[in-house]
Chains A and B, each alone.
Chain A
Amino acid sequence: MSASIDFLLGPAWPWVRVLLFLGGTAAFAGLNAAYLVWCERKIAAYVQRRPGPMEVGPQGLIQPIADAVKLLCKQLLTPPAVDTILYRIAPVAMIIPALMCFVVLPYGDALMPTRIDLGLLVVFAFSAINVISLMLAGWSSNNKYAIISSARVVSQNVAYEIPMLLTIVTLILVTGTTELGTIVGQQGGWFWNWNILRGIWTLANPLVPVSFLIFFICMLAETNRAPFDLAEAESELVAGSFTEYSSMGFGLFFMAEYVNIVVGCSLATVLFLGGWHTGLGNLLDFLPAWASALVGLGAFFVKLYALIFVVMWIRWTFPRTQFYGLLNLSWKILIPVALFTLLLSSVLVKLPNLF
C-alpha cells in the first residue's frame, strides 16, 4: 500500500502530496469541527432527553453549515479600547497551531503528511501555543471577565502540562522513539500489543492504564473541556476569554476548541490505543493491501470518535470543578502518580541493562 502510494505521490511529484495533505487536513479539520458541534448537540440532547437540532435538514444535519454561514455573515465588531492588533491576531494564533498538529499525526500507514523524528514534540510544541492565544485574547479584549479567564487558563495549563508530559516521557521510555508512525508500528498484531496493555505484560510499565487515564484527564484540562472548563465557565465568566469576540473571531475560537479535541483524542489513539491497527492480529491478513488500509483508517476513526464521545459524555454529565480543586488534583494527585509511574518504568526498563 505504502509503496503504491509512494509510486503515485512519491518523489516524482512531492508537491502533489503536499497539496493533497494540505487540502485534506484543512477540509478534515473544518468539517470535523462543524460536525462535532452537531454531534455535541445531539449527544447533549440524548443525555437530556430532548430531540436536539431538528429543523435544518433531516435530523438537523445541515445545521452546522447554516451556523457557519451565520457566523460568516455577522458583523465583525471591534469594541473600543481593545488592543486591536493582538485582538485580531489571537483567534488566528489559536487555530493555526491546532491545525499544524495534523502535520505529524499518522492516520494510516501511508496517510501521514510527514515523518518527523520528533513528531511527538511537534504536537506538544504547537498545542502549547493555544494557551498564549487564549491569554492574548483575554488580555487584549480589555474585559474583566476575559482577564480573569485568561489568568485561569494560564495556571490551569501550566498545572496540567506537567503530568501530561510526565506520562509522555514514561511512554517514550518504553517505546524508545518520538516518531509517531514508529510508535504505532510497534503496536501491531493483537490488541494486547497496544501500548495501553503492552506495558503490563512486558513489565515495562505495569501502570500504563493509569498513565492513559492521566493523559486523558490532562487532555480534557488542556482543551478546556468540562469538567475543567473554568476558562469559559458560562455561569461565572459569561464566555471567558472570547466574551468580546463576534462573528468569525468567535467562530475560530469555537473551531479551534473542536480541532484541539480531535488532536488530543488522535494523540491518545496513536500513543495508547494502537493507532490504525485493528488489534485483530493476523485475522485480516487475507485482505488486499487497499482494503486493509481502509480497514486501518476505519479502526483509527472508530477509536478516535469513541474517545470524542467520552469527552462529550463527560461534559454533559458532570458539574464544573472549582479552581483550587482543579489545581489540587493536578499538583497533589496527578503529578505524584505520574512521577511514580515514570520512576517505576525507568527502573523496570533500565534495570535489566545493568546486569
Chain B
Amino acid sequence: MLLLNKQEALARVASHNVGGPNETFVLNLGPQHPATHGVLRLKLTMDGEFIRKAECVVGYIHRMHEKMGENRTCAQFLPNTSRLDYLSAMQYTHAWCGAVERATKLEVPQRAEYIRVVTSELNRIASHLVGWGAWVMDLGGLTPILYAFDDREKILDLLEGICGARLTFCYYRFGGVVNDIDDAFIQGTKAFVPYMRERLKMYRAFVTDNVILRKRLEGIGIIDQDMCRRYGACGPVIRGSGIANDTRKTEPYSVYQDFDFEIPVYDQCDSMARYLVRMDEMEQSLRIIEQALAKLPEGPFINPKVPKFLKVPAGDTTYATEAGRGRFMVRLVTDGTDTPYRVKLRTPCLANLSLAEEVCEGMMLADAIAFLGSLDLVIPDIDR
C-alpha cells in the first residue's frame, strides 16, 4: 500500500491539471463500490457529472475455471459450473451436463428432464428477484430487495429440500438428477406459483408503476439492435431491444418445446424495457412450472445405465442453455483421455458488460449506475 505523508500528497494533488479549460478527472467506480455488487471496476473519465469515457477493468475475481476444466474429469468439473453465475447455478450445471450427455450420447429420462425444467425455472425466478431488488436498491429504493429476498427464500427452501444446497446447486448429474423430487417439493411449488403471481402484481403496483422509477429508467441506456449484434449481447438485454432471442425457443434443449410460453420482448431499447422483460419472464417461468408439474411423467429420475467412470470419446460438442442473464454455452473439446482437451465457457455477462463502455459515454453518473443495473451483472460470471 502506498502511504504518502502530507507534503507528498499535497504535491501530488497540485500536479494535477487544476483549473484547465477541459479539465476532467478519473473516478474509480470500484472495485469496492456499493453499486458494482462485486469486484468490477469502472475507470470513468468524468467531466463534472458527465462521463466522457468509461473503461471496464475486469479480472479481479478470475479463478481460471476454463483451465480447471482441462485438468480434471468431467464429473470433477461439474461443481465448478455452479460457481460461475452463482445466481443461475441450475442452468449452468444443466449446460455442462447437457454437453457431456451429448458427447457421450447418454439418454436422459423424461422425468429427469421435467425436473430439470422445474428447478431451472425456479432458479430463474430467484435470480431475477435478486437482480431486481439489487437494481432498485441502486436507484435508492431500499425496501423492495427485502421483499424480493423474502420470495427468494421460499424458492431456496424448496430447492434445499431436494438437493441440500441453497446457492451453488449441484443437483443435475450426467443422465439425470441426483435425487427424485418428493411430494413436499411438488406441493410447495404448486403453492408457490399463485403466491408469486400475487407478489408480482404487488411489485407492479408499488415499484414498476412508480413515477420516480419510470423517470429514472425510461430512455436511459439505449442499446440498439446493431449494438447488440456487434457485442454479442444476449438474454434480457437484447430482448429489451426488440430481438426475440431466447435459447429455450431458438435452439430448444431439454423438453422446453413441450411447453406453451412466450418470450417477452420490448422494443424501447432502454433500461425500462429490460426491467419489464425480466418482470414478464418471471410470469412466464411460473407458467412453465405449472405446466411441467401438471405433466410430470413417472419413471426413473436418472438413467440407470450411467457408467461409474464416464469415458468421453474424442470430439467437439457444444450445449447452450438460457440462464437468468442470457445464453450460456459450453464447448467441450475432448481427445479421448480422462480430462477434456479444452473447455470454453461462453458466459452472457462478459458480452453484456462490453456494451457498457459505448453506452456510458456522455451519460451522467447516476444514469450510468441505473444502466449498469439494467445489465444485471454477476461479476464472477464475467471473470470466470
- Assembly CA distance A238 to B34 (angstroms): 7
Q: How far is the CB of B144 from chain A (nearest CB, A)?
A: 9
Q: What is the bound-complex CA distance between A351 and B48, given in angstroms? A: 49
- Assuming the A-B contacts A81-B6, A227-B212, are A318 and B364 also in contact, with contact meaning beta carbons closer than 8 angstroms in the complex? no
Q: A81-B9, A144-B25 are in contact. Are A48 and B143 (CB under 8 A)?
A: yes
Report B-chain residues with C-beta under 8 Å of the C-beta of A81. Answer: 4, 6, 9-10, 12-13
Interface status of B141 (Cβ within 8 A of chain A): yes
How far is the CB of A41 from the nearest CB of chain B, in Å?
A: 12
Interface residue? B366 (CB, 8 A)? yes
Contact A49 B12 (CB under 8 A): no
B369 touches A236 (CB 8 A): yes
Partner of B49, one of A227, A317, A323: A323
Q: Once the chains are docked, how many angstroms separate the CA of A51 from the CA of B156? A: 22
Determine the chain B residues whose CB is within 8 A of the CB of A235 once the complex forms: 34-35, 137-140, 369
Q: Tell me if A317 and B143 are in contact (CB < 8 A).
A: yes
**Smallest Cβ distance from A88 to chain B, in angstroms?**
15
Within 8 A of A (CB), among B124-162: 136-143, 146-147, 150
A48 to B145, CA, bound (A): 9
Residues of chain B within 8 A of A350, CB atoms compared: none
A35 to B31, CA, bound (A): 35
Tell me if B212 and A319 are in contact (CB < 8 A): yes
Contact B141 A318 (CB under 8 A): yes
- B interface residue count range (under 10 / 10 to 19 / 20 to 34 / 35 or more): 35 or more
State whether A325 and B150 are in contact (beta carbons under 8 Å apart), knowing that A80-B9, A151-B48 are contacts in the complex.
no
Kindly state the separation between the CA atoms of A324 and B49 in the bound complex, as whole angstroms. 11
Any chain A CB within 8 A of the CB of B367? yes
Answer yes or no: A186 CB below 8 A from chain B CBs: no
Q: In the complex, what residues of B have CB within 8 A of residue A322's CB?
A: 215-216, 364, 366-367, 370
The answer for the CA separation of A155 and B78 in the assembled complex, in Å, is 55
**Mask of A198-238 contacts with B, CB within 8 angstroms, 1/0:** 00000000000000000000000000001101100111101
A4 within 8 Å of B (CB atoms): no
Q: In the complex, A50→B147 CA distance in Å?
A: 10
Question: What separation, in Å, do the CA atoms of A142 and B18 have in the docked complex?
Answer: 13
Q: How large is the interface on A (under 10, 10 to 19, 20 to 34, 35 or more residues)?
A: 20 to 34
CA distance A234 to B141 in the complex (A): 11
Cα–Cα, bound, A324→B370 (Å): 14
Main secondary structure of the interface of A (DSSP, over half): loop
Asked if A321 CB lies within 8 Å of chain B CBs, one says: yes
Query: Taking the complex as formed, is B61 at the interface, i.e. its CB lies under 8 A from any CB of chain A?
Result: no
In the complex, which residue of chain B has the Cβ closest to the Cβ of A239?
A: B34
Tell me which residues across on chain A come within 8 A of B365, comparing CB atoms: 148, 236
Q: A319 contacts B141, CB within 8 Å?
A: yes
State the CA gap A135–B144 with chains docked (Å). Answer: 32
In whole angstroms, what is the CA distance A318 to B140 when docked?
8
B27 CB contact (under 8 Å) in A80, A144, A152, A226: A144
Residues of chain A from 281 to 322 with CB closer than 8 A to chain B in the complex: 316-322
Closest beta carbon of chain B to A333's beta carbon, Å? 13
Separation of A144 and B13 alpha carbons in the complex (Å)? 12
Q: Could you tell me which residues of chain A, from 311 to 355, have a CB within 8 Å of some CB in chain B? A: 316-325
In the complex the two chains form, is B139's CB within 8 Å of A319's CB? yes
Give the CA-CA distance A335 to B5 in the complex, in Å.
49
Q: Nearest CB to that of A144 among chain B residues?
A: B27
Checking B27, B33, B143, B213 against A316 with a beta-carbon cut-off of 8 angstroms, the contacting residue is B143
Chain B 210-237 per-residue mask, 1 if CB under 8 angstroms from chain A, else 0:
1011011000000000000000000000
Q: B26 to chain A: closest CB distance in Å? A: 8
B35: A residues at CB distance < 8 A:
235-236
Residues of B within 8 A of A238 (CB): 33-34
A44, B366: Cβ atoms closer than 8 Å? no
Residues of A within 8 A of B25 (CB): 144
Which of these, A47, A151, A320, contacts B143 with CB under 8 Å? Answer: A47
Instruction: Kindly name the residue among A227, A233, A325 whose own CB sees the greatest number of chain B CB atoms within 10 A.
Output: A233
**A50 to B366 CA separation, bound complex (whole angstroms):** 29
Whole-angstrom distance from the CB of A153 to the nearest CB of chain B?
13
Residues 1-19 (chain B) with a chain A CB within 8 angstroms: 4-6, 8-10, 12-13
Distance, CA A227 to CA B61, complexed state (A): 34
The smallest beta-carbon distance between B64 and chain A, in angstroms, is 31
A142 touches B146 (CB 8 A): no
Q: Mark each residue of chain B from 343 to 384: 1 if its CB lies under 8 Å from any CB of chain A, else 0.
A: 000000000000000000000111101100000000000000
Q: Enumerate chain A residues within 8 angstroms of B216, measured Cβ to Cβ.
A: 319-322, 325
In the assembled complex, the Cα of A285 lies from the Cα of B139 at a distance in Å of 51
Shortest distance between the CB of A99 and any CB in chain B (Å): 29
From B13, B27, B141, B366, A323 is in contact (CB under 8 Å) with B366
Q: Given A235-B34, A318-B210, A323-B366, 15 other A-B contacts at CB below 8 A?
A: A80-B8, A81-B9, A81-B10, A148-B365, A151-B49, A226-B140, A233-B140, A233-B366, A234-B34, A235-B139, A235-B369, A320-B366, A321-B212, A322-B215, A323-B364
6 cross-chain CB contacts under 8 A? A80-B4, A81-B9, A233-B140, A316-B142, A319-B213, A324-B364
Nearest 5 pairs of A and B residues by beta carbon: A320-B140, A81-B9, A319-B141, A80-B9, A319-B139
